[in-house]
Amino acid sequence: DSGVTQTPKHLITATGQRVTLRCSPRSGDLSVYWYQQSLDQGLQFLIQYYNGEERAKGNILERFSAQQFPDLHSELNLSSLELGDSALYFCASSPGLLGSYEQYFGPGTRLTVT
Amino acid sequence: AQSVTQLGSHVSVSEGALVLLRCNYSSSVPPYLFWYVQYPNQGLQLLLKYTSAATLVKGINGFEAEFKKSETSFHLTKPSAHMSDAAEYFCAVGTGGGNKLTFGTGTQLKVEL
């Protein structure tokens, strides 16, 4: 158990809908990362927050957004969903911003868009 | 931009045999390198990391990796494979600023009796 929790574990929704994925980082970790894992794209970094502020953006679509709240939990919002958004979405956390910090991954949310 | 290349999307070994999973990195600055393992239907678990303290890094479950700057490599090895090692393994490079990880495409390890 990494200490990172993600809810829900599974999500099935229809095209055009909007969903919210939730992540709670390890106790004490200030930095939260979101990744998408799909068969065709592999593991892709989406976005990072540090202590409530956006720090880095990766291959995140404009239809996707995220935020980190004062209690440090984070939410990833996916809207106008398309079939191609079906993937595993992972959240990870680390203590801070140093490159030497390892990231601890949650169990993921499997999103299926039908 | 920093990147990693994992050679071999599938590797098959016999139980008890040497495991060698290859990773080459591209980085303009000294990299931070990581190996993660993903078991079916689970998240990623850190095996080991290189942060320039020592070139030979020992991780969990008997795995180790050696950082070779001259070869820009960070290959993962285990002297004797066990059935429980069957999983997907990812090499990743971390950027200095912001700490996002760039992952390789992964290597699926199969261990046969």
How many Cα atoms sit within 13 Å of A88 on the Cβ side?
19
Render pLDDT for B53-104 as a digit per residue (tens, 0 to 9).
788 999 999 999 999 989 999 999 999 999 999 999 999 998 656 578 889 9
Q: pLDDT for A24-36, tens place per residue?
A: 999 999 999 999 9
Touching B: A residues 43-102, CB under 8 Å: 43, 45, 48, 55-56, 58, 90, 92, 94, 96-102
Nearest CA in chain B to A46: B100
**Mean predicted lDDT score pLDDT of chain B:** 91
pLDDT of residue B37: 97
Q: How far apart are CA B106 and CA B90, in angstroms?
A: 5
Q: Which residue has the tokens 């140093």?
A: A98
How far, in Å, CA of B73 to CA of B65, rounded?
A: 9
Q: Which of A70, A40, A80, A41 is nearest to A58 (CA)?
A: A41
- Name the residue facing B32 among A4, A58, A99 (closest C-beta): A99
Task: State how far the Cα of B90 lies from the Cα of A92, in Å rounded to an integer.
Answer: 15
